[in-house]
Structure 1
Amino acid sequence: MAAANAVANAAVELRKGISGLDKVVLREPSGCSAEVYLYGGQVTSWKNIYGEELLFVSSKATFKPPKAIRGGIPICFPQFGSHGALELHGFAKNRFWSIDTNPPPLPANSVTKTFVDLILKPSDKDLKIWPHSYEFRLRVALAPGGALILTSRIRNINTDGKPFSFTFAYQTYFSVSDISEVRVEGLETLDYLDNLKDRERFTEQGDAITFESEVEKIYLSTPIKIAILDHQKKRTFVLLKEGLPDAVVWNPWDKKAKALVDFGSDEYKHMLCVEAAAIEKLITLKPGQEWKGMQELTVVPSSYCSGQLDPEKVLQV
């Protein structure tokens, strides 16, 4: 009942989703919407005012715990990658989150009124594989203009005086027309770690990133704005981030797509992950300390040719 009361307004509704899992539906008066599953604290839908889906979710995605949902915006915490006893990309993406009934207040000047606050705390099972007490608060908000904003706050509440360290990523699956028609700008000339080559370090060449084979790169010390241009759909996603210095770019391409049981063999053509992340340098919190990381996604019409996009100007459209 408390959860239902926490979202009891016309713009924010608690409903049953696929496989009977609870989800929160956010609707802006302009017509844009978003859906957030309590399982994983995961955004699985973000639609513009025309009802067009902007995020990719695989047609073979499993909405059945303990399998994570393939697509949308999985949250990678307390690690990105695979290390030690923790599962790939951590456990936050396949745990049940709760509606936060005591969330932090909105900034005094905020015009965003359509949002939901979620919270994740460690279970006994989690404490056995990652022995740290924490509170992970997540706010998912829709701005009046249709922007999707995710704000994460992670606090160390250990009572033994011990700090803990973690890495983090918003693994955002963007829906694109055709991966061969997509380019990413804002990461050119930067150093990156290539996960396909044991995280060997390279420097990106060329004016922008385009795609013709599998890619899994971790870009380092990235700008706060990254643009994803979809020429065929004539639209540009703009990713604005804070507290997340790195960025991951991933597409499995054909061979790896066929090996993923929860991913359609041809679906790699219609998705691209660009992830705001903190990976290269561990985030360390002492007891009582809190970390905050935010990403804001907007989409604007565009018909830019090679090299003509300035992400600074896109945000002013």
Structure 2
Amino acid sequence: AEGQGNLPKLVLTSPQKSEAEIYLFGGCITSWKVASKDLLFVRPDAVFNKIKPISGGVPHCFPQFGPGLIQQHGFGRNMDWSVVDSENADDSAAVTLELKDGPYSRAMWDFAFQALYKVTVGADSLSTELKITNTDNKPFSFTTALHTYFRASSAKASVRGLKGCKTLNKDPDPKNPIEGKEDRDEVTFPGFLDCVYLDAPNELQFDNGLGDKI
């Protein structure tokens, strides 16, 4: 399908009609709808021109999360991914995208690699799996993340499952975070928050304040 800015996109639909939209530029999921309700958010000022990454949905951070030796969050969100596989089951639909090194990536990170990104849509679920393979003859290290934007009411949203985690509070000084420990069962967002949670569990519950728990 053709998306905004005439960029190619995929529409992945489960048998129960849940739906995800994925742009090949950046391998970015921009929409995930359950019962026609979109649970993801794309910024109003997002551009779809391949000059900047798509600001919203589920962008990739690869091979670097945050600032560092190469551009912020790496180049995975600035390159075209390709479709290598798709599958349908009774309760889900899935597609696998691939990203390989090229002149653009090698100019800033001189390694050969293959990234396989599988996206699966179920009746009321969205799951992702990212596999990185070193296809070079020398070792490399990397960091990665999915920088997810959820649609939410900040005044009502909350997260459960972080109690007991060590924290690094980057507000007001990101360069000198304050160490602490989360003692709340439910983390809320009454104002600006920039906090890192260390050793967080694999599963958290996010209440978007709009009637959905993810």
For normalisation by structure 2, the TM-score amounts to: 0.91
Residue pairs, 1:193-212, within 5 angstroms: 193-196=168-171, 197-198=174-175, 200=177, 201-212=179-190
Match of 2:81 in 1: 97
Tell me, yes or no, if structure 1 residue 235 matches structure 2 residue 192: no
Q: For the residues of structure 2 that align with 1:207 and 1:140, how far apart are their CA atoms?
A: 31
- Offset at residue 212 of structure 1 (A): 2.1
Aligned counterpart, 1:58? 43
Cα distance between partner residues in 2 of 1:117 and 1:199: 40
More helix by share: 1
Percent of matched pairs sharing the same residue? 33
Q: Which residue of 1 aligns with 2:102?
A: 123
Q: CA deviation at 1:113?
A: 4.6
Number of equivalenced pairs: 211
Which letter maps to 1:100? V
- What amino acid maps onto 2:213 in structure 1? T
Residue 161 (structure 2) aligns with: 186
Task: Quote how far apart the aligned CAs of 1:227 are.
Answer: 0.7
- Counterpart of 2:27, as a letter, is G
* Distance of 2:101 and 2:93 partners within structure 1: 27
Q: Deviations over 1:88-137 (max 9, x none)?
A: 11110111111115x8x99xxx7655111110011112112111111000
Task: Please give the residue correspondences for 1:221-300 in structure 2 after superposition, counting only pairs within 5 Å.
Answer: 221-231=199-209, 233-237=210-214
Question: Against the structure 1 CA distance between its residues 168 and 112, is the aligned structure 2 distance closer, same or farther, given a 3 Å change threshold?
Answer: farther
The amino acid that maps onto 2:80 is F
Q: Does 2:139 align with 1:163?
A: yes
AA in 2 matched with 1:75: H
- What is the CA deviation profile of residues 194-246 of structure 1, one whole-angstrom value per residue up to 9, with x for unaligned ones? 34432633322323211122222221111111011134x22211xxxxxxxxx
Distance in 2, matches of 1:80 and 1:73, equals 14
Flag the 1:194–1:133 CA change in 2: closer, same or farther, 3 A.
farther
8 A contact 1:112–1:141 mirrored in 2: no
Root-mean-square deviation over aligned CA pairs? 1.9
Instruction: Identify the residue that residue 81 of structure 1 maps to in structure 2.
Output: 66
2:28 corresponds to which residue? Answer: 42
Between the aligned partners of 2:91 and 2:117, the Cα distance in structure 1 is: 15
Is 1:152 paired with 2:137?
no
Structure 1: gaps of 5 or more residues? 1-14, 238-317
Runs of 4+ residues over 4 Å off in structure 1? 110-113
The secondary structure found in structure 1 opposite 2:144 is strand
Q: Do the aligned partners of residues 185 and 165 (structure 1) sit closer, same or farther apart at CA in structure 2, a change above 3 Å counting?
A: same
